[in-house]
Each structure stands twice: as C-alpha cells, then as structure tokens.
Amino acid sequence: MSKKAAIATIALFIFGIVSFISVVDNADRVLVRSSLRLSDLPDGVEKMASKISENFERPMSERKKRLKGLGKLDRPDLFAQYHHDIRTRHGEAAPSYSYNYKVEELLKAKSVTSTKALRKLGSTNQLDWIERGPGNVSGRTRGLIVDPDDPDYDTWYAGSVGGGVWKTEDAGQSWIELTAELPNLATSSLAMAASNHDVIYAGTGEGFGNVDQIQGNGIWKSIDRGATWDQLASTTNLEFQNVTRIIVDPADENTLLVSTAVGFNGAPNTSGIQRSIDGGASWTKVYDSGGRFVQQIIANPEDFKIQYAAVNAVGVMKSTDAGLTWSPSLNLGGIFDFDFPSGRFELAVAPSDTARIFAALDEDTGTTSILYISQDAGATWMKGSDATGVNWLAEQGWYDNTIAVHPFNENVVFVGGVNLWRIDLGTGIDTTDFQVTGIDLENTSSFLAFVNFGGALQGGGIDFGGASEGDYTSIEIRFGPGKSQKAHRFLIPEGETSGVPDANYTYQDYVDVPFELWDSDNDVQLMVSFRDQTRNGVWELAELDTETTREYVFLSAEPYDPNNPHPLIARNGGHTHRRLYFIWPVLVEGGIFDPDNLPEATLRINWERLITQSVTTTNVTDAYDEFGGSAKQVHPDHHNIVIIPINEASNSFRLLNANDGGVSFSDDAGATFTQPLNGYNTTQFYGVDKKNGANEFIGGMQDNNTWRSPAGEDASASSQWTFQFGGDGFETIWHYTEPNKLIGSIPNNLIFRSLDGGASWFSALNGLDDVGTGAPFLTKLAKSKQDPDLVFAVGESGVWRTDYFASSWTLTQMPAGWTPDINSLNASQVKISLVNPQIVWAGQNMIEDSPLYMSSDGGLSFAETAVFPDVPLGRISGLETHPAEDSTAFALFSFANAPKILRTNDLGQTWEDISGFGTGTTSTNGFPDVAVHSLLVLPYDTDIIWAGTGIGIFESMDGGATWADANSGFPATLVYEMVIVNDQVVVAT
C-alpha cells in the first residue's frame, strides 16, 4: 500500500505544526497555592523558587509580566552553549560543520543547484499539515525595515532569528512568511535600497553571543520586494559567517557595505567591513578589525560618504569616503577589561543634526550602561552622566542593545536592553581629571599580543608604572621600517621568573630595540627599558610561555638621548625611574617575529580629560516591575528601534521595536504600545504535547514561557493561546487519561503541574534534589501513554522517578559512570519505551566512560549499554523508541561528518548506524549532514521512519536503509520534537 493510500484509508495522521510567542494581558484572575518547599532547595535556587511562588499568588494579568523573566530565567547564552555542545564531537573544541552547510545539504537533497530554484519545487508527497499556532506568540526579531511607499507606514519587513523574513501590510495584524521554502534563516539585519524599493538585502547569523547559537548563511537578496530570494554566491564563505548590519547607498542599489562578526565555532576571526559595488556579486574588505567583532555599521542619513562602525571592545570607527578607509573616532579599547561578549556598542545619528552621534555601551562587567555623545561628528566625545546610575542595559547589553534618536530633537534618544528607556540630554557639562581614554592598536595584530598579569589596561597586559601625574601624556610605540632606538637592558637573577623585586633588576647596557617611543602630545621621543629574560642581549617577542617570554617593556617619561643612557635609569632598579607604563608583550599565536621587517604599526595610549554631559534616564517599558512602570504589553529584550517621522509640526512619529517577542510599536512616543501578535509564528518550541481526544496543545518555548491552546477549541494557526507560566519553556506533558493533569517546566528542573486543565499551577519539586546547578539547563521529562502517572527527569545525581505525576520524586542511583560534567549534563535525555513502560533509556553521551543507560524494571535500576565501536561520538541530541518493539531504540547525534542515527534492536547490546556515515564523513544512503533532534517510527508501517533535522523532515521508507527529503510540504525548518497523539503527528519547530 502506498503511503498516500495508507493515510487516506486509515486516516492515521492529521499533521499539526506548532510555532510562535507574545505577551497578552487579558487573562482571567487565577490564584495558585504552591507546594514548593523552599528550605529543601540548593543554594541559589531558593530565591528563584521564592519568586515563582510569589508570582503564582498574583493575578495572572500581573504575574505574567514578572514571572516571564524570573530574574532572567530566559538565558540565550545557555541556549547558545547547548547547541554548540551537541554539535561538538568528543575530542573536538568546536563544531566542525562547514560554512553554509544547511543550504548546501538542502540543495543536494532537493536535487537543485540554486536557492532560487527551491521556490519552484512542488511537494510530490503533499500531506495535510495543519498549523496549530500559537497565533499570539512570536520569536526573537533583530531585522526591521519599513516600506517607504506605504503612506500609512503599516508595511514592515521583519527578520526573525529563528524563522526567516516576514512581511505585514497592516501594522502587524497579519503576516506573510517570505522565506518558507528556504532553510531556517537566522535573519539578523535587513536593508532596502532607497533608490529602488524592490531591492532588499537580508544578512544572516547572530554575531552577538559568546557562542554562535544560530550560524548564518551569508547574504540573501530580493529584487521583487521580498517575494523571492536568492543567496549571494559571493557570501557563501566564512567571511560572511555572521552579517551583523547592512547599509545601502541611497543613490545606488548596487553599492552596499556590511559589518561582520566572524570567528565562532573555531573559525578564524576575520571580522571587519566588506564593500560591494555590484549588488553583492563581489566584495572588497575595506576594514580588518584585527580579530574584533564589528557589530554595526551606519551612515549619515544626509551624506552616505560619512559612516560609522561599532567594534566590540574597541569603540567607534569612522569613514569619510563612503567606507573605503577607516580611522578611530571613539577608542575605548584597553580601558575596560572587556570579556567577550561584553563590550558591545550600538550607534545612532540624529536626523535633526547629523553631527550628533550617540554610542550605547555595555561596559565590561555588565553592571554599567554608558552613553557616549559626540556633537562634532565623532571628532570628540562626551560621556553621559546620570545621577541615578540606572543600568538601562541590565547586564545583558551584549545580547540586547539598541538605540535610536528622536526624529526632531537631537537631545532625546531611545535605548533598549531588557527594557525600553528614554534619555534626555541636560545642559550640565563637566570635565574629569586627566586619564587614559583609550588604547589604539593599529596594524599590530600580526605580531603583538599581551599577557594578562592583572594590569589596569589592555585586558590586564598593561599597567601604570607609578610616575607622577604630571609626567603623563599621550604616548605612541611606533614599529616599522627604519624605526628603532636605544633601550636600557636589565637582567634578573638567573632562573627566576615571576615576583622579582625591582631592586633585583640589574642594569647591563644600552642596546637597540625595533621600535620607538614618543610623547605624541609634544612630539618628544622618550626613554625605554626592557627585561632580557632569555639573556641573549636583545629584546624579542615569542609565543606565550610563562617561563621564557617575560620580555617586559618599561616606558619612561625621560626624553630620549640616542647616544647616552639616562644615569637614573642605567643602574640597578633604575627601570622604575619616571616609569609611565609596564607592558608584558608576547608574539601572537602562530606569528613570526622578524625585528628587521616589522610592519608599519602603532600602539597608542591616549591621555586626556574626559568631558561628561548630564543626562536624565526615564523608563519607558518595565517588563519585570523593577522601576515602578508598566510592561505596556511589550515583550522584554529589545534588539532594534526604528523611528518613522510623521509630522514635525506636531512632533509626531512612530516608534517601531523588534524584541524577543516579535514587533511592537508606539504612536505616542512610548506612552502606550501595541504588540500585534497575529500570525507572526516565529517562536522556537522546546516541548509540546497534545490533549488526548481533542485538538488542544501545550508547549514550552525558548524565552517565551509555557502556553496552552484555548480550551474547548480546535487549535489553528491563528489561535490565541493562553499563558501558563514564565521563563524559558521546556518539556510539557498532558496526562493521557486524566486531561485535567498537565506538567510544564522551565530551566534547571523547575517543574510545575496543574490539576485543573491549566487554570492553576503548582510547583512539583517535592523530593527532587537536582534543581538549579545540579540539573540540565534544558529540563528533560519522559512520559508514557500506558502508564501516564509515570514520569522521569534527570540530574547530576541520576534519574528521578515519580509514580504520581510529579507530586513527589525518588532518585534511582546510577552506575558509577554517571558523572556528567555541566556541558554533558545539559545534553541529558530520558525516554520511556512507547510500547513497554518497563523499558527506560537515559544518558548524555555515547563514549567509553559515559555510555547510555537502560532500565528493564521501570526505572528502578539502570545498566550501562554498549558503545558504538566504529567511530568516536560524544553527546547525544536525542533518544527515541519504537512503537512496536520494546528492544529497539534510537540514539540521535548532531556532529558533522559522523553518524546521525544509531539503532539498537537488542536493548543496547549492539548499535548500527542507519544514517549511512559509518566510518566515513559522507552519508552513503542519502541522509543529510545536519543536526538531528527527533525521530518517529510510524506505527501503521514501521518501515517508515521520519527524522527531524535542522532542515526539515527526512524520510526512510525501508527501515533506515535509504533516506530522502520527505517532500511533504513541510518547511525546511529545525524540527525539535515529534510526537504521535491519537491520529496526529504533532511537530514542534
């Protein structure tokens, strides 16, 4: 019987897709009593759980705003880490997928050669997929542009990080997905050509986090206002791994510049600015950032020749020739001890005065938000000073940081971090004492690095030397052809390394060094000293070795004499005389030190007075009731502010905002907002279940809480789901025989249950000790239709079991090999056999000292299973079982060039690779080389297997012998979970 006939005759499947996010504030008033025992929780969890209990005692309309954050239980950095780890094979430092791999694998699976051809393909095995919503919950959005040809300003294009490019023509009341046939595009930036509004460019990839959560696929271009898209072939390489921003010459649709953040997942860091004059067919790199991520580029709205770029942990670069050359404008590199991902700048130019520039900075520790202001197009900068000291980026400016200037008033800016704020410039201007205001490193990246010894500057590699304040000026160390001077050489007692007292430095002689030291304020050359650690008579750079590479450099305020050493320096301990700075330099890893052929390069330490300007910061949206304001129905975590001027005479404008819940807008300068949530279905599900006998669903969503479809209604794409509780939503369970019972979860095994169909929720941690740091970030639960009260969770102590639907938990002790580290713990999985609840699987890895575990007594005890012998693997990305054979299970993996699906038919005694990779790097049976998260064996014909991958569903019709794209009308999106309930396959994307 053919597949179509089977479906038509047996009517086994009605296929439901789940996706989306949002904030609604009209839910019923519900009071909940908590059974949470705070005294039983580990340190750090008690306070968090207390917040949960406190908020569960509030009316739903109030608690949603607060509970949704739970002190930032939404952790985008940990999601990034999880996806990084499950793609990193045991023994490797990072994922080894090639750039653009998802697009290439999809093209290969579809047997086409271009992305444009994907739109023309039909579905040969079209199934009746029904989208079940939620229609009122949207996902993280970074890219946002407005169609200037719409006189009502209601036509917008939104770039979803998890769902491609979308369009609305009615201010968000309805949305159209423009890239459904393409792989899941992590769209971070959009730009429309002002000279031809049919031309739109979309940049992909997130270059903001500490691990690349969703890697990009270069730049995509539409020449028909977004109706079709084609990937620019010139950007299918690592130089365009993450395109953070795009600007287009308003006079020429073919001239564009992009900023890039490159170097994630082990790739070389070649971040910078790329320029094209032929519509993206070819590119010229016009700025190399020296290993720093360039996270934004903007242009003066009145003069495209003037451009600014934000360089992480460095500052602001400026170009006055349309991006051909760049020079520092605001340089803070070396002042703050930036630890990536902190140190992100966001920039804005005032439309009413284009000489007014603003830079919003996430300061190094994350505890301070800083606004820098320039009134002269970046020639000089002032630092905003607010007496309240409010941290408006809220320690998360590396992730959500955006700024825009009032269209008619250059003294007002709107900024966004976790919340939205308004900053008004005051009239008070003051100056600080002289201080180091920046360190410039020009062209030094090929040979010069620094060792962090705890110094105050340059990431700990430079420290003040103790000279009097009057000795300090701006100084430069200049390298290059013809540049050298004499320096005082010192030795320390032979064999000593660190902690040598100054008095034990013995002066030796006056020798040449391959650089010059200058007081750049007064054009005076200065004296230098160095420590000759290798005792070879010369100063040299070598790669870091703490025993031999201590060729310290000491900079003095004494004027240079090429013929004579200074008498107060040329003596034992004399290296401290009028010492300005102490530097520990080393050779960059993989570099070559040739003192006779160093490039033209400069290390500059700027010594200036810092000007401050008074500012007043006012809260606009208050997502977690921290500042006495209101959320105004706007989701927290803001990534883009677009301001549309409407009428200068009435001072009216529209403020558009892209956030983690989609798009919001205000037509009254932020007094009120609308966050339309109708069909912008872009949220990412991490858990889903269906009510037995009804088309009702419950799901947990990344950074978007746990939601339930309306009771008593057949869920559809536009269904307005009901908020259940806040935080990153994970696994959910709908009791199979008692539909009033539900379970939901948020990070680190914080589990809740409802006994009244979701009207109220109780904490469900009684007896569960692995909560917080002892639990996986992605809470994992296992359920059984045959024994629906039986539920399992996992933690560092072992497998947790409840026979009472989470009313209480008991620990099953695991064999000695169960000792997961934190990253492996986050990959934990647990699964009950679909056909026999006595068979339970659990684990994190498949390696010799950390295998998978199997129980044949309902989870009361576990035993180790065998390890796949042919190739080394590592962390699993999923566990699945068989609907008819209790001895059969599947272990899923997401590593590049390695097996993706292992099957056992004998309870784990042996495993076979059914994805065709074996010991090779390419599948021999049609399976794509992409991540795998889920799998289903179809019960009406167990030869049919579906695999949920990063590019959609792949299908085997012969028990795993061969694979092909299912070609069923399902989009090429990540499929995180697939479950069968009644006659439906429910897919979470």
- Dmax over Cα atoms in the chain, in whole Å? 100
Does pLDDT of 20 surpass 60? Answer: no
Q: 4 — phi, psi (to 5°)?
A: -60, -40
- Tell me the CA distances in angstroms from 777 to 461, 594, 794, one per residue in order: 35, 49, 11
Other Cβ atoms closer than 10 A to 451: 17
CA 674 to chain centre: 26
Q: For residues 687 and 697, what is the distance between their CA atoms, to the nearest angstrom?
A: 11
The pLDDT of residue 54 is: 43
Is 671 domain-assigned?
yes
pLDDT of residue 546: 72
The three-class DSSP label of residue 22 is coil
Quote the pLDDT of residue 11: 22
For the chain, percent of residues with pLDDT exceeding 90: 70
Which tokens hold the place of 281?
Answer: 């067919």
User: What was the pLDDT predicted at 65?
Assistant: 36
Name the burial class of residue 498, with classes exposed (0-12), middle (13-18) and buried (19+) by CB atoms within 10 angstroms of its CB. Answer: exposed
- What tokens appear for 346 in the block? 């966001």
Torsion of CA 898, 901, 907, 909, to 10 degrees: -20
pLDDT-wise least confident of 106-115, 179-188, 325-334, 474-483: 106-115
668 and 697 assigned to the same domain: no
Hey, how many other C-beta atoms are within 10 angstroms of the C-beta on 551? 21
Mean pLDDT of 814-829: 88
Q: Please give the backbone phi and psi of residue 842, each rounded to the nearest 5 degrees, phi first.
A: -155, 160
CA distances in angstroms from 475 to 249, 398, 432, 435, 576, listed in the order given: 38, 31, 20, 13, 17
669 and 791 in a single domain? The answer is no
Residues 788, 678: one domain?
no
Query: CA 375 to CA 355: how far, in whole Å?
Result: 6
H or E element that contains 722? strand 722-725
Exposure of 982 by Cβ count < 10 A (0-12 exposed, 13-18 middle, 19+ buried)?
middle
Domain boundary among 581, 599, 617: 599
Alpha helices in 813-908 (DSSP H): 822-825
In this structure, the answer to whether residues 700 and 790 fall within a common structural domain is yes
What's the first-to-final CA gap in the chain, in angstroms? Answer: 30
In what side-by-side order are the strands of the sheet with 952-956?
Answer: 932-937, 945-949, 952-956, 964-965
540 domain residue, yes or no: yes
CA dihedral sign of residues 277, 283, 284, 287: positive
Token pair listed for 922: 């390419």
What's the CA gap between 707 and 18, in Å, rounded?
A: 11
DSSP 872-887: ---B-SEEEE-SS-TT
79's enclosing H/E stretch is helix 76-86
Provide the pLDDT for residue 98: 87
- Nearest Cα to 185, choosing from 207, 167, 202? 202
Residue-wise pLDDT tens digits, 580-637: 999 999 999 899 999 999 999 999 999 988 899 999 999 999 998 999 999 998 999 9
Q: How far apart are CA 643 and CA 117, in angstroms?
A: 36
How are the residues of the chain apportioned to helix, strand and coil, as percentages rounded to the nearest 5?
Answer: 10, 35, 55
- Residues 580, 688 within the same domain: no
676/734 same-domain check? no
Does residue 826 register a pLDDT over 50? yes
Q: Check pLDDT > 70 for residue 32.
A: no
Q: Which of 305, 23, 83, 392 has the alpha carbon at shortest distance from 213?
A: 83
**Lowest-pLDDT range, 101-105, 603-607, 695-699, 911-915?**
101-105
Instruction: Please give the DSSP secondary-structure letter assigned to residue 173.
Output: S
Q: Is residue 241 part of a domain?
A: no
Last residue in a domain, options 553, 579, 599 = 599
Q: Residue 868: which of 847, 838, 854 has the closest Cα? A: 847
User: What distance in Å separates the CA atoms of residue 85 and residue 83, rounded to the nearest whole number?
Assistant: 5
Of the residues 599, 617, 649, the one at which a domain ends? 599
Question: What does the chain come to in residues?
Answer: 989
Q: Are strands 524-531 and 485-491 parallel, antiparallel or unpaired?
A: parallel
Sheet holding 697-701, edge to edge: 685-690, 697-701, 706-708, 722-725
Q: How many independent structural domains does the chain possess?
A: 3
CA–CA dist 759, 755 (Å, integer): 8
Structure confidence at residue 429 as a pLDDT band (50, 70, 90): confident
Confidence of residue 15 (pLDDT cuts 50, 70, 90): very low
What domain range includes position 663? Answer: 138-185+632-682
CATH number (domain holding residue 942): 2.130.10.10
Q: Which residues pair with 311 in a beta bridge?
A: 294, 315
Phi-psi group of 495: left, alpha or beta (phi > 0 → left; psi -120 to 50 → alpha; rest → beta): left
Q: Is residue 265 a part of any domain in this protein?
A: no
Rg (CA), the chain: 30
**Gap between the Cα atoms of 565 and 916, Å rounded:** 72
Please report which confidence band the pLDDT of residue 211 belongs to, taking 50, 70 and 90 as the band edges.
very low
Rounded-to-integer distance, Cα 769 and Cα 811, Å: 9
Q: Quick check: is 655 in a domain?
A: yes
| Residue 562 half-sphere exposure toward CB, CA atoms < 13 A | 6
CB–CB of 476/526 below 8 Å? no
Which range, of 368-382, 534-548, 739-753, 805-819, averages the lowest pLDDT?
534-548
Residue 975: strand, helix, or coil: coil
- Two tokens at 574? 């004399």
> Cis peptide before 42, with omega less than 30 degrees from 0?
no
pLDDT of residue 117: 62
Express as a percent the part of the chain with pLDDT over 70: 89
Type of residue at 398: W
CA dist 701 and 958 (Å) reads 34
From 54-63, 404-413, 735-744, 794-803, the region with the lowest mean pLDDT: 54-63
- Going by pLDDT thresholds of 50, 70 and 90, the confidence category of residue 214 is low
Asked which of 91-95, 301-305, 864-868 is least confident by mean pLDDT, the reply is 91-95
**Tokens for 838?**
């006595």
- Residue 471 corresponds to which tokens in the numbers above? 């000795």
**Pair 688, 577 in one domain:** no
The mean predicted confidence, pLDDT, of the chain is 88
Buried b (16+ CB within 10 A) or exposed e, 33-44: ebebebeebeee
- 233-238 long-range contacts, CB within 8 A, separation 24+: 234/276, 234/280, 234/281, 234/282, 234/283, 235/280, 235/283, 236/99, 236/100, 236/103, 237/99, 237/100, 238/99, 238/262, 238/267, 238/268, 238/270
Strands 402-405 and 382-385: unpaired
E strands along 269-376, which residues?
A: 272-276, 284-288, 294-300, 303-311, 315-319, 327-331, 345-350, 353-362, 369-374
Question: DSSP character for 987?
Answer: E
pLDDT at position 114 is: 63
User: Is the same domain home to 812 and 943?
Assistant: yes
Residue 240 lies in a domain: no
Calpha distance 204→219 (Å, rounded) = 6
Q: For residue 264, is it within any domain?
A: no
The answer to whether the beta carbons of residues 310 and 296 sit under 8 Å apart is yes
Position 374 scores a pLDDT of 97
The answer to whether residue 212 scores a pLDDT higher than 60 is: no
Quickly state the pLDDT bin for 180 (edges 50, 70, 90): confident
What does the alpha-carbon distance between residue 187 and residue 160 come to, in Å, rounded to a whole number?
A: 5
The residues near 582 (Cβ < 8 Å, ≥ 6 apart) are 455, 462, 463, 464, 465, 552, 553, 554
Amino acid at 964: A
Q: Are 373 and 426 in contact (CB under 8 A)?
A: no
Residues 706 and 847 placed together within one structural domain of the fold:
yes
Where does the pLDDT of residue 255 fall: very low under 50, low under 70, confident under 90, or very high at 90 and above? very high
Cα 305 from Cα 300, distance rounded (Å):
8
Over residues 907-941, the pLDDT tens digits come to 999 999 999 999 999 999 999 999 999 999 999 99
**Cis status, amide bond into 341, omega within 30 of 0:** yes
Contact 919, 927 (CB under 8 A): no
Identify whether residues 478 and 529 lie together within a single domain: yes
Residues 749 and 655 grouped into a single domain = no
Q: Is 152 exposed, middle or buried (0-12, 13-18, 19+ CB in 10 A)?
A: exposed
- Strand stretches in 162-302, DSSP E: 164-168, 176-177, 187-192, 200-204, 219-222, 230-231, 243-248, 256-260, 272-276, 284-288, 294-300
Q: Which residue has the tokens 């798009």?
A: 663
Say whether both 591 and 564 belong to one domain: yes
Please check whether residue 162 is in contact with residue 214, taking contact to mean a CB–CB distance below 8 angstroms.
yes
Confirm whether 173 is domain-assigned.
Answer: yes
Confidence of residue 247 (pLDDT cuts 50, 70, 90): very high
pTM of the model: 0.84
Contact (CB, 8 A) for 514 and 598: yes
